[in-house]
Chains A and B, each alone.
Chain A
Amino acid sequence: MKQRLELKLNGEMREVFVEPWRTLAEVLRDELGLLGTKVSCGTGDCGACNVLLEGKVVSSCLVLAPQAQGREILTIEGLATPEGLHPLQEAFIEHFAVQCGYCIPGMIITAKACLDENPDATEDEVRLAMSGNLCRCTGYVKVTEAIMAAKEKMKKSVSGTGYGKGR
């Protein structure tokens, strides 16, 4: 039987009715039409479905919908502001860090969690943080370059880590 589920999703309260055995990833994609979050392995190995739950990165394919009840979720759709893309999104474009793109929303969300927690992350720390996000077409060099570039941009910007903050 369906149950009421309330989410603070990308800064907006959303309400859906879903069975408790649906995953957060399914709710985002199938019920709320947010197709940015991808699903690939379904076992928490690939990171494609990563979203932020209360500011912490989680694999949304392993979160049951009711576990997210009343909590704050940030997906890739919540990163850009009316003023423009998030520095991580800009940097991924500028550094050609995208090939097919399927892994990228999860990559950017994981990178955001890494930099939110540690705005001065070293390259090694970034690589470690990203080690649970798999790319099957190209590799990780440009992804790492993009994140390191975004880090500098985020530090310099007046609003600092304010991008996507509170959303």
Chain B
Amino acid sequence: MGPFEYFEPATVEEAVSLLKKYGEGAKILAGGTDLVVMMREREIKPRYVINLGRIAGLNYVHLDGDKGLRIGALTTIAGLERAPELKSSYRIISQAAARLATIAIRNMATIGGNLCNAAPSADMAPPLLALKGAVKLTGTAGERIVPLEEFFIGPGVTTLKPDELMIEIQVPAVPAHTGGMYLKHGVKGAAGLAVVGVAAVVTLDIRDSVFEEVDIALGAVAPTPIRAKRAEALLKGQKISDGLIEEAARVTSDESSPIDDVRGSAEYRREMVRVRTWEAIRGALKLAKSV
């Protein structure tokens, strides 16, 4: 690994000015659990490493009634796993956090890092996509808010400009009678990368037993984490039935475009998308009924 020049900015402004100065040659270190592996395996050789770890005030989970949820980009995955703010409406986030890698990784890895690395299998992406999350980026040109759906461009590629960094994740308020479930299908349990990740968030119209709102997001089965919009449209406004959920799971599977790799064949992944989506919708539905 190395050599590189190492910086520890004390503020976001300082970090942005370092990024402006060193741009493409620089890499941001948050928790380091992905970056250090990539540097060691020589997949990348940054000339400058900018560690955000000493910047205060980017590690928080704020729940603000009708305004929704805001998470600081440097909040660790273990922090999310345990956050009391994520035990009810936003439980799907802590559920996904608990399924990300090992405890030793979760203690270092950050939510901003997980999203900015933009691995198709990133565990935090499907739940935040299904919750219609957005990310706040800051750079030389100022701040901007990007819906998470528009943030991912390809494997490892995002809309982040070379002089920008992510500072916050925002999630809108969750209506009553909403349940969410993230299922990670892996070969090594949580410790391995997801072979398939499925997040489903369901809002019920309790009186009419109708799907008022459904959001389904997938990980590890396309070049980026994706939403399954055709399946969402199929369910939205419809009366709840087992047949319809099965159909939506099939449509979701059709919307995925997985590849063959060491963790599973494309065919296997498509089938697991169907199975896990069926499970996730039913699980989310059950939770929605209970709140």
Contacts and interface: CB of A to CB of B under 8 A. Distances in A.
Pair from one complex: yes
Contacts of A50: 104
Most chain B beta carbons < 10 A, residue from A57, A110, A133: A57
A20 B108 contact: no
Interface string A132-144: 1100000000000
B32 interface: yes
Given A59-B105, A62-B36, A132 B8 contact: no
Interface residues of B, number: 28
A161 interface: no
B148 interface: no
B104 A66 contact: no
A19 interface: yes
B268 interface: no
A64 B2 CA distance: 11
Given A21-B39, A62-B108, A110-B104, A44 B4 contact: no
Given A63-B32, A132-B101, A21 B107 contact: no
Contacts of A59: 33, 102, 104-105, 108
Interface string A55-68: 01111011110110
Interface string B188-202: 011100000000000
A53 B105 CA distance: 12
B243 interface: no
A132 B102 contact: yes
Contacts of A3: 6
Given A56-B78, A58-B104, A129-B103, A20 B49 contact: yes
B147 interface: no
Contacts of A20: 2, 4-6, 49
B107 A57 contact: yes
B153 interface: no
A44 B191 CA distance: 9
A64 B51 contact: yes
B37 A66 contact: no
Contacts of A23: 1, 36
Contacts of A56: 78, 107
A87 interface: no
A66 B8 contact: yes
Contacts, number: 86
Interface residues of A, number: 29
Nearest to B31: A62
A50 B4 CA distance: 25
B163 to A, nearest CB: 22
Contacts of B32: 62-64, 67
A22 B5 CA distance: 12
A59 B107 CA distance: 9
A132 B103 contact: yes
Interface in A110-167: 110, 113, 129, 131-133
A34 B40 CA distance: 22
Interface string A67-109: 1000000000000000000000000000000000000000000
B101 A44 contact: yes
B70 to A, nearest CB: 24
Contacts of B5: 20
Nearest to A70: B54
B108 to A, nearest CB: 5
Contacts of A110: 103-104
A131 B36 contact: no
B115 interface: no
A90 B189 CA distance: 30
Contacts of A45: 102, 191
Interface of B: 1-6, 8, 29, 32-33, 36-37, 39-40, 49, 51, 53, 78, 101-105, 107-108, 189-191
13 contacts: A19-B3, A20-B2, A23-B1, A44-B104, A45-B102, A58-B104, A59-B105, A59-B108, A61-B36, A62-B108, A64-B51, A67-B29, A113-B103
Interface of A: 3, 19-23, 42-45, 47, 50, 53, 56-59, 61-64, 66-67, 110, 113, 129, 131-133
